[in-house]
Amino acid sequence: MNCITDPKVQRILALVEVDKRELDREALLFLLNSREGRWFLMRFFDRTDIFGNAFNADALVNAYSEGRRSVGIGILSDIKELGMDGLKLKQQAESEYASLIAETYELKKKLIESMEDDYG
């Protein structure tokens, strides 16, 4: 028997994994419970393009995009594992993000309109 197949080693490794999952859970809840954390999460989802179509005819670009997307999908899966609390916080993040994007759009629109008035 080697260290890989030793049942004691296997139990210790399993405990380490449980501890890592619990720390991941706590960290994700910490992130979701702050406005800044929710903003970061939504930007992360945008950058990993989890809600978009990552397909590209170029196989290398496609593999890169799918790899990036799979990281975002993994985090989304972790949020789902938090249960209703996690999903409510994710929805709050989405709502805050959408509101801020809409406000930014309106500000840009007003700025462009004012510049058109100035520069005719």
Number of domains in the chain: 1
Structural domain containing residue 25:
7-119
CB-based contact 45:72 (threshold 8 Å): yes
Is 2 within the bounds of a domain? no
pTM of this structure: 0.73
Reference 89, options 37, 22, 49, 18; nearest CA is 37
Rg (CA), the chain: 21
Torsion angle defined by CA atoms of residues 18, 80, 84 and 104, in that order, rounded to the nearest 10 degrees: 130
- Of the CA atoms within 13 Å of residue 9, those in its CB half-sphere come to 6
Is 60 within the bounds of a domain? yes
Q: How would you write the pLDDT of the chain (120 residues) with one tens digit per residue?
A: 666 777 887 777 777 777 788 889 999 999 999 999 999 999 999 999 998 877 788 999 889 989 999 999 999 999 999 999 999 999 999 999 999 999 999 999 988 888 887 776
Is 93 within the bounds of a domain? yes
Query: Residues 89-113: pLDDT tens digits?
Result: 999 999 999 999 999 999 999 888 8
